[in-house]
Structure 1
Amino acid sequence: MKQTLKYYGPAILWALFILIICAVPFSAPGPPDLFFPGFDKLVHCVLFFVLSVLYCYGSIRKWQTRSIRIAIAMKNTVVLISYGALIEYLQMRVFTWRSGDWNDLLADTIGSCMGIFGVLLTSNAINHENS
């Protein structure tokens, strides 16, 4: 457990932040989209983008590599999408003041994939430049 916290500590803290944000009841009067239609989906996408970058950073540190391998990226993708599905399930069943939505899960998935793709692209570019 200590090793997990050593490498994945920032990602775990961000995942807890996401869980808290997704559990808070919003009872603001007015339209459900705060600034523009789809703002909620953008927030989901950005939250999971940051989570995926932090999670990939933990994987790079854990495996002591200069870039993330495709197999690890695929495992990270499965973990992140599962976490997004868990949050949506909790919003449907436990946090009844919130509503689970397939579109939110799609936004979580897109944000996760964008973050992992960004880490793959950046780490490969850095390694290509150094060699």
Structure 2
Amino acid sequence: MLRYIKRYPFSLLVISSVIYLSFFRPPSTDLNEIPYLDKVVHVCMYAGMSGMLWLEFLRNHRKFQAPLWHAWVGGLLCPVLFSGCVELLQEYCTTYRGGDWLDLLANATGSLLGSVFVYLVIRPRIWKTNCR
């Protein structure tokens, strides 16, 4: 466990922030009148989480070859599954927030966008080895 804390500190910080933002009661503001602003926030949160998981994976595996499918599982599949668990917990364990299938779709979209961006744009610049 301590190994993961040392190797993925920023990812754990982002995950903790997403957990907090998913379960706190947001204040009522004029921004609530903007339609689907909540979905944009979900896309940004999960794109950031997925991107950070990818970046730290690539940083930690620079010196030796690692299967790239590990990054796809950890950077795309895990955030989507995490998102599903959060939505279920919001639906059944909180009284002030309900789970929303559109939130899950927005979270999956954000995870996909973050993963694809890091894979296509950033990975070729920082991961010089030819990993499979």
Q: How far apart are 1:92 and its partner, in Å?
A: 0.5
Looking at structure 2, the residues matched to 128 and 64 of structure 1 have their Cα atoms a distance apart, in angstroms, of 6
Report the TM-score, using the length of structure 2 for normalisation: 0.82
1:18 maps to what in 2?
Answer: 18
Unaligned runs of 5+ in 1: none
| AA of the residue aligned to 2:57 | S
> Runs of at least 4 residues of structure 1 off by over 6 A?
none
RMSD: 2.7
2:117 maps to what in 1?
Answer: 118
| AA of the residue aligned to 1:25 | R
Equivalent of residue 55 in structure 2, options 47, 54, 57: 57
Q: 1:75 to 1:128 in 2, by over 3 A?
A: closer
Unaligned runs of 5+ in 2: none
Query: Secondary structure of 1:26's match?
Result: coil
- Asked if 1 retains the 8 angstrom alpha-carbon contact of 2:62 and 2:127, the reply is no
| AA of the residue aligned to 1:22 | S
| AA of the residue aligned to 2:18 | I
Report the TM-score, using the length of structure 1 for normalisation: 0.83
